[in-house]
Structure 1
Amino acid sequence: MTIQMTREQIRERAEGVFKNHLKYLSSGEIAAWTDLFHQEGVLDFPYGIGNFPKKVEGKKALYDYMINFPKHFSVKFYDLKFYPTEDPELVIAEFKSTGKHLETGNPYEQTYISVVQTKDGFIQVYRDFWNPMVAIESIGGKLEDFVG
């Protein structure tokens, strides 16, 4: 017997996946974070600059890309707002982070807008709109170090 989910239940599931994404990143649970993605899941950075990747594809690549994040950054996410769409599996979220880079001690204060396509409770494509300059400044770098 197949149980059909309502649009609202599908939306709640998709938003729950997104909330878990924030929880796992802020707690450094990268394996659990990776498990939120489909096997061929994509993390897309439309505003990636220079040496920052524009796209990371597949669970193994996602894990390898994020595994060192908790060693470098301590962050907490807050002020989460969802913007419901016609597609209940599409999440549009706006939120902020506060934290620091662990080696430099520099602050990491970021504002994000994320567009996330889920399917059956897993992330298919995560489009991450954020300011790479905030990360560069937090690690003590200069833009010139990352471009050209």
Structure 2
Amino acid sequence: MTTQMTREQIRERAEGVFKNHLKYLSAGEIATWTDLFHQDGVLDFPYAIGNFPKKVEGKKALYDYMINFPKHFSVRFYDLKFYPTEDPELVIAEFKSTGKHLETGNPYEQTYISVVQTKDGFIQVYRDFWNPMVAIESIGGKLEEFIG
């Protein structure tokens, strides 16, 4: 016998997936983080500049893109707020991070707004609105090095 999930249960599952995304990313558990995505999941960066990719598609590409994140950044996420939508599988979240770039020791203080479409408990599309200048400054770079 199959039971239907209520809209609230679907919303809670989608928000739980998002919370796990933050948990696994801050813990450096990239393989587990990647498992939160559909096989053809997409990470979309609307404000990407220069050498930053605008889009990463597919689990293998997601893993390859993120595998070195814990070697370069130590972060903790906080102030998570969800904004409920009509679609219970659509998550809109606002949150912050605090941390540092491990090679430079520079701070990494970021504010995010994420729009995440889930399907059946997996991330289908993760649209990540963040300021790439914060990352550039944290790694000790200059904007010209990234847009040249």
**Fold conserved (TM > 0.5)?**
yes
- Tell me how far 1:132 sits from its aligned partner: 0.1
Deviations 1:12-54 (A, max 9, x none): 0000000000000000000000000000000000000000000
- Tell me how far 1:117 sits from its aligned partner: 0.1
**TM-score, normalised by the number of residues in structure 1:** 1.00
Deviations 1:104-124 (A, max 9, x none): 000000000000000000000
Poorly superposed stretches of 4+, deviation over 6 Å: none
- Tell me how far 1:78 sits from its aligned partner: 0.1
Q: Distance in 2 between matches of 1:51 and 1:66?
A: 15
- Tell me how far 1:2 sits from its aligned partner: 1.2
The alignment status of 1:33 with 2:37, answered yes or no, reads no
Deviations 1:91-139 (A, max 9, x none): 0000000000000000000000000000000000000000000000000
- Percent identity between matched residues is 95
**TM-score, normalised by the number of residues in structure 2:** 1.00
Q: Distance in 2 between matches of 1:92 and 1:40?
A: 21
Q: Distance in 2 between matches of 1:128 and 1:84?
A: 17
Deviations 1:51-99 (A, max 9, x none): 0000000000000000000000000000000000000000000000000
Unaligned residue ranges in structure 1 (runs of 5+): none
Q: Distance in 1 between matches of 2:124 and 2:110?
A: 24
SS of the residue corresponding to residue 97 of structure 1 reads: strand
Q: Distance in 1 between matches of 2:3 and 2:138?
A: 48
SS of the residue corresponding to residue 103 of structure 1 reads: coil
Q: Distance in 1 between matches of 2:121 and 2:66?
A: 21
Q: Note the aligned Cα RMSD (angstroms).
A: 0.3
The alignment status of 1:134 with 2:141, answered yes or no, reads no
Q: Distance in 2 between matches of 1:145 and 1:75?
A: 24
Paired residues in the alignment total: 148
